[in-house]
Amino acid sequence: MRRALGLAAIAAFVLPLAARAQSKPDFTGTWTVDPAKSDPVPAGRGAASGTLTIKQTGQEVLFVNEGRQGPQLLMYRLDGSESTNQVVGRGGTTPLKSKAKWDGSSLVVETTRELNGISIATKEVRRLSNAGKEMEVETTIQTPQGEQKRKTIFTKDIQFADPCKVNPTLPICGHH
Amino acid sequence: MPGQHRIDWEAAKTRTDAIVPWITVFGLIAGGVYSLVEYRNHERDRRIEATMAYVTRYMAPPLSDYRAVLVKRWQAHEADLLAVLKNSSLTPAELNRQYSAGVLAMVTADELALPIQETVLFFEQLANCVTLKLCESDAVNSMLAGQAQEFLHQYYPYVCHLRQEWNDPAIARQLEQVFNAQSMGKDICR
């Protein structure tokens, strides 16, 4: 009985830590939209296409989006502090102010931008599924006209970013 | 007058003469320590400010554009590079040779020389800033050190190519020393 209680106490302490350690998935990789599994794109916004490359470290996450104006780079700090990115669009460069944070195993990015004097708030909730081969993004856009929600499914086609993590015998890796 | 307490001015003056220098010394020490702490805080703030200027530069064009190009092209060639890295039948020398050949072919085919050279230059300047204690090393480590190391891990064959072509083994040496100390003293370009 005492042993069972001891194990339960250890489990109560260790399991939340393990769950916490596992609750930060790595989104690093290159992702392609799967139109068949995604919600349709609203009329007038073009087809769902293109690739998104993500690079994640402990402190930040970097998105490279293949946009119509060329590659767009967005960098978010993961400590909940505000990050500012510049996005090039048809009307010129627009600053985006974002805050990224973890909500369990989901990465939540909340962004505000000014468009023609109107403030638009976007919330993206990003999580991995299908053993990390798919990424689900729930986007909620708040505008004065109301709320729009959309789910996009990406499939992964990236393998690695740091060669030393794949093969540490390269001379640069300091392997002995 | 009987019972009246008389002040012994001579004794009081002697005591005061003995205490005043000590108070002065304590005051000087306290003031000195305070000034030192303030100076150190000010210096740290200045180093953090210098570091944040580098972070801002890294996140803005043209460096952000160069980085976007590099990430994109890396992804396009990734499968070939991965096949080399995962080939367990290769000796370390052959692995290095094949990986280097793959990276150099990618740099040539995709015209990545300028983005790589500009990124090397940026990280070299940042490394110098850390070495000269003009940047705050803790802030650099938490924000840019990982990026610098990964960049060097990916493109060291091109760094070696530059060292050979320009006959200058000092190219990217600061970058290597500050952000990838484990390879210092080893010949990464063997």
- Selected residue with higher pLDDT from A87 and A27: A27
pLDDT tens-digit profile, chain B (190 residues): 555 677 888 888 888 888 888 888 888 888 888 888 887 777 888 898 999 899 888 878 898 888 878 887 887 888 899 999 999 999 999 999 999 999 999 999 989 999 999 999 999 999 999 999 999 998 898 778 888 999 999 999 999 999 999 999 999 999 999 999 988 888 889 7
- Residues A95, A72: Cα–Cα separation, whole Å: 12
Contact B68 A160 (CB under 8 A): no
- Residues A103, A110: Cα–Cα separation, whole Å: 12
ipTM of the complex: 0.76
Read off the pLDDT of each residue in A142-168 and give the average, rounded to a whole number.
Answer: 83
Q: What is the pLDDT of residues A39-73, one digit of tens each?
A: 887 765 544 456 788 888 888 898 887 666 666 78
- Selected residue with higher pLDDT from B163 and A7: B163
Q: Which ranges of A64-171 does DSSP label H, i.e. alpha helix?
A: 163-166
Nearest to A159 among B82, B92, B182 (CB): B82
Contact A171 B152 (CB under 8 A): no
What pLDDT band is residue A2 in, cutting at 50, 70 and 90? Answer: low
- Selected residue with higher pLDDT from B5 and A37: A37
Strands A51-56 and A29-33: antiparallel
Question: Distances in Å between the alpha carbon of B53 and those of A2, A120, B57, B60, B96?
Answer: 59, 29, 6, 11, 36
| Nearest 10 degrees: Cα torsion B132, B134, B138, B142 | -100
- Selected residue with higher pLDDT from A77 and A133: A77
- Residues A130, A37: Cα–Cα separation, whole Å: 13
- All residues of chain B having their beta carbon less than 8 Å from the beta carbon of residue A171 are 92, 96, 156, 183, 186-190
**Which of B54, B58, B59 to probe the A interface (max A CBs under 10 A)?**
B59
- Residues B39, A25: Cα–Cα separation, whole Å: 42
Contact of B50 with B103, CB cutoff 8 Å: no
Interface residues from chain B to A (CB-CB < 8 Å): 59-61, 64-65, 67-69, 71-72, 74-75, 78-79, 81-82, 85-86, 92, 95-96, 99, 142-143, 146-147, 150, 152-154, 156, 180, 182-183, 186-190
* pLDDT given for residue A101 in this prediction: 93
Q: What is the pLDDT of residues A95-149, one digit of tens each?
A: 889 999 999 999 999 999 887 788 889 999 999 998 787 899 999 998 887 888 9
- All residues of chain A having their beta carbon less than 8 Å from the beta carbon of residue B153 are 162-164, 170, 172-173
- All residues of chain A having their beta carbon less than 8 Å from the beta carbon of residue B59 are 73, 75, 85
* pLDDT given for residue A48 in this prediction: 47
Q: What is the mean pLDDT of chain A?
A: 79
- All residues of chain B having their beta carbon less than 8 Å from the beta carbon of residue A172 are 152-153, 156, 180, 183, 188
Written as one string, the DSSP assignment of chain B is -TT-----HHHHHHHHHHHHHHHHHHHHHHHHHHHHHHHHHHHHHHHHHHHHHHHHHHHSTTHHHHHHHHHHHHHHHHHHHHHHHT-TTS-HHHHHHHHHHHHHHHHHHTT-HHHHHHHHHHHHHHHHHHHTT-S-HHHHHHHTHHHHHHHHHHHHHHHHHHHHHTT-TTTTHHHHHHH-GGGTTS-TT-
Nearest to A171 among B71, B74, B190 (CB): B190
* pLDDT given for residue A14 in this prediction: 46
Cis peptide before A35 (omega within 30 of 0): no
* pLDDT given for residue A18 in this prediction: 44
Nearest to A171 among B64, B78, B183 (CB): B183
Contact B92 A163 (CB under 8 A): no
Read off the pLDDT of each residue in A81-103 and give the average, rounded to a whole number.
Answer: 85
Contact B146 A57 (CB under 8 A): yes
Residue A120 backbone phi and psi in degrees, to 5: -120, 125
